[in-house]
Amino acid sequence: MENVSNISKLESIKSFQSTIRKSEKALAQMTQKGANTTLVKKRLKALHIGLAMLENVWNQVPHDYNQEDLAEARNVLIGLLPSIENSYAKSKVGSPQRTLLERRIKSLELSVQAIDDLFGE
């Protein structure tokens, strides 16, 4: 994986943690309302795997995900990028929302790169 500054590593991990918390809250609300939670659960699992991959590469934290889990997570994470990039394009320059989206995009890209590096792609 490319050389990533310690600040970027920290921001990426915090971004994943924030996204996971938001997704967990959304899942709880959807479950309470009786809504279909399949997609949110799938995304949440992918986010957990993405975070685990970054922590594995940067902090040598072991993970217990198999190749199938990693491949599925990679596809889900890549699938999240277009909507986040679209929101980023619509956000105001210099706004806190734009900064958050920028970090979220970077963290997703880095986690996909970590998965690709693991597969030797």
For 74-116, write each residue's pLDDT tens digit: 999 999 999 999 999 999 999 999 999 999 999 999 999 999 9
Which pLDDT band, with edges at 50, 70 and 90, does 121 fall under?
A: low
Cβ neighbours of residue 21 closer than 8 Å, sequence gap 6 or more = none
Global pTM? 0.93
Residue 70 has pLDDT above 90, yes or no: yes
Amino acid at 41: K
At residue 118, the pLDDT reads 86
